[in-house]
Amino acid sequence: MAIGDILELTFNQRWAITGEPMMVRLYYAIVDILGNANGLFNAWTAEDGIMELMNATQPDVVQNGSIRVVNLFSLTDFYEADVDGTGIVGGDALPPYCGTHYTLKLDTRGVRNGGICVPGIAEGSQVYGTITGSTPLAVVEALRLAFSEDVIEAGAGVYDPVVVKRVRLEPDEEHPKVRYRLPETTEELNYGHVNSALVNLKVAHRVTRGNGR
């Protein structure tokens, strides 16, 4: 582990009715020498952490599954564990392909802005396809602010939210199309710090979850 290493955090959830998997993936740069995969997991799942803020925006049909944190540049710095809990909004929910979309704005033009679609919207949190109401708007706003703030483990590591630029792989005989992968070394690394996050209050459609896919 080292300052500047990148941690990939994958939050796995599922739709309780069908067991359909749902996933959100985020990246964080280690800010100090105390940072590691286990520390980011602890901070993310702590009281008032991002997992709790995300659950506050989701219907109770969305169940937490597991969180996996991997250091892109270390074979020994990783952590994975199951997590309990569900979304906390009761009542009926929109279909599982609906979600709330956030745009991550960066401090550089060298990397494209990031995007996150948080799965699950309660029927009562929207009107005609737009999120509305004092409580739904308040919890969405709290999560929006958290996406651009450092994640801090009490008395330990600090983690800066970033968007990582993929490495382009040119076509060859085995792969006729352009491909992209995450950087494997610090020399390949290019990323932008998340300065702010924007939220689109219109219900998003997570295209990989649409009917027929």
pLDDT in tens, the chain (213 residues): 678 899 999 999 999 999 999 999 999 999 988 899 999 999 999 999 999 999 999 999 999 999 999 999 999 999 999 999 999 999 999 999 999 999 999 999 999 999 999 999 999 999 999 999 999 999 999 999 999 999 999 878 899 999 999 998 888 777 778 888 899 888 999 999 999 999 999 999 876 545 444
**Does residue 1 form part of some domain?**
no
User: Would you say 93 and 120 are in contact if contact means Cβ atoms under 8 Å apart?
Assistant: yes
Range of the domain at 58: 6-209
Q: Determine the 3-state secondary structure of 82 from DSSP.
A: strand
Helix boundaries (H) for the chain: 37-44, 50-57, 134-147
Domain count for the chain, please give it: 1
Q: Please give the single-letter amino acid code of residue 105.
A: K
Residue 143 forms part of a structural domain: yes
Q: Beta strand 78-82 with 179-181: parallel, antiparallel or unpaired? A: unpaired
Query: Are 71 and 77 a contacting pair, CB within 8 Å?
Result: yes
Residue 23 included in any domain = yes
Tokens linked to 190: 């290019």
